[in-house]
């Protein structure tokens, strides 16, 4: 993983600057192509275990229609992605004093017509999610397939971000955002860099 971190080293200053100035940053081609393919394979091999994200603790919400699977110990490829996020956590702690202690992640699959309406991952800072990250791992994405991430930055400017393969978006968890309806199967790993270990319910 050290290698992967080094391969994006030249962008680190830019990432920190974007996070500081706008509250979000985009990293393209973050992983080697081969790694993305392996991660996609791991994701697809578990697709039959994905569950409706709208149902949390038996409570049904209408704001999202995607399906998710929490990353577990046995998912050795996804674990390497989390290892990288732990390195980012250290960097963000050093730079922004966020006190991040843990990384928690799930795969997400949006099938045709699925979406996630406007929300914040950490509304009113009521949970301990500091930073949200989304990594896209479908092999291809075309501009007319929808599924964009629409995000309001910390200066209240809106951005439409295409879910390009092998792209990772990093943003403050208190920012407003949504996933527009997708026309194709859209695969990702969402991970939160959290400041504590408390048990929380995801949204």
Q: Is 66 exposed, middle or buried, given 0-12, 13-18 or 19+ CB atoms closer than 10 A?
A: buried
- Shortest distance, position 121 Cβ to ligand OGA, whole Å: 5
- Shortest distance, position 108 Cβ to Mn ion, whole Å: 10
By CB under 6 A, how many residues form the interface with ligand OGA?
A: 10
C-beta closer to Mn ion: residue 121 or 174? 121
Q: Show the 3-state SS of 14-50.
A: HHHHHHHHHCEEEECCCCCHHHHHHHHHHHHHCHHHC
Site for ligand OGA in 146-185 (CB under 6 A): 149, 163, 177, 179
String of b and e for 171-188 (b: at least 16 CB within 10 Å)?
Answer: bbbbbebbbbbbbbebbb
CA distance 134 to 188: 7
Site for ligand OGA in 84-143 (CB under 6 A): 108, 116, 121, 134
- Shortest distance, position 6 Cβ to ligand OGA, whole Å: 27
- Shortest distance, position 99 Cβ to ligand OGA, whole Å: 21
C-beta closer to ligand OGA: residue 4 or 176? 176
Residues 183/146, Cβ–Cβ less than 8 Å: yes
Applying CB under 6 A, the residues found at the interface with ligand OGA are 108, 116, 121, 134, 149, 163, 177, 179, 188, 190
Applying CB under 5 A, the residues found at the interface with Mn ion are 121
């Amino acid at each position: 993983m050290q290698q992967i971190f080094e391969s994006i080293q030249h962008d680190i200053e830019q990432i920190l600057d974007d996070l500081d100035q706008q509250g979000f940053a985009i990293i393209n081609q973050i992983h080697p192509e081969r790694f993305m393919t392996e991660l996609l394979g791991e994701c697809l091999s578990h697709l039959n275990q994905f569950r409706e994200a709208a149902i949390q603790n038996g409570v049904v919400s209408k704001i999202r229609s995607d399906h998710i699977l929490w990353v577990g110990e046995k998912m050795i490829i996804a674990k390497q992605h989390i290892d990288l996020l732990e390195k980012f956590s250290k960097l963000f702690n050093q730079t922004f004093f966020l006190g991040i202690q843990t990384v928690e992640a799930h795969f997400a699959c949006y099938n045709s017509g699925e979406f996630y309406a406007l929300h914040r991952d950490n509304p009113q800072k009521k949970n301990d999610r500091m930073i949200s990250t989304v990594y896209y791992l479908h092999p291809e994405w075309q501009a007319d397939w929808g599924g964009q991430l629409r995000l309001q930055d910390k200066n209240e400017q809106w951005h439409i971000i295409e879910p390009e393969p092998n792209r990772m978006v990093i943003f403050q968890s208190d920012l407003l955002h949504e996933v527009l309806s997708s026309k194709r199967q859209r695969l990702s790993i969402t991970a939160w860099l959290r400041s504590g270990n408390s048990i929380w319910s995801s949204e």
